[in-house]
Amino acid sequence: MPARHVVVSAHNGVHARPVAELVRLAQAHELPVTLRTADGTTVDLRSVLAVMDLALAPGAAVTLETPPAPDAERVLTQLALVLAPDA
C-alpha cells in the first residue's frame, strides 16, 4: 500500500483552511485516502469532521495511505504538501 510519512510543518498546524484543502484534494480522486496519527488513530481523509477532530499541531507525525493506483504517489505528494508546505 503506498504511504507517505509526514511531519506537520504548517505554521498553525492543521486548522480549518488546510483541512478543507486536504478534503478537497482527497475527494477529487477516486482513491480512498486514510490519515494515521502516531498514536494509531486512523481517519478517512474525505471527512472534514474526522480530520478536524485530530487537531494536528505543528510537529505532529502522520502517515497518509492509499491503495495502489497509477496516480497514488502524485496524490500522496499533493496531500503531503498541504501538511508540510516547507518540505
Query: With b meaning 16 or more CB within 10 Å and e meaning fewer, what string describes 65-84?
Result: bbeeeeebeebbebbbebbb
In total, how many domains does the chain have? 1
Average pLDDT over residues 40-58: 95
* Per-residue pLDDT tens digits for 7-30: 999 777 888 888 999 999 999 988
User: In terms of residue numbers, what domain contains 14?
Assistant: 3-83
For the question of residue 11 being annotated catalytic, the response is no
CATH code for position 27: 3.30.1340.10
Catalytic pick from 5, 11, 15, 29? 15
Q: Would you state the pLDDT for residue 87?
A: 66
Distance, in Å, from the CA atom of 54 to the CA atom of 6, rounded to the nearest integer, reads: 15
pTM, entire model: 0.91
Instruction: Please report how many Cα atoms fall inside a 13 Å half-sphere around the Cα of residue 11, on the Cβ side.
Output: 1
Distance, in Å, from the CA atom of 83 to the CA atom of 65, rounded to the nearest integer, reads: 14
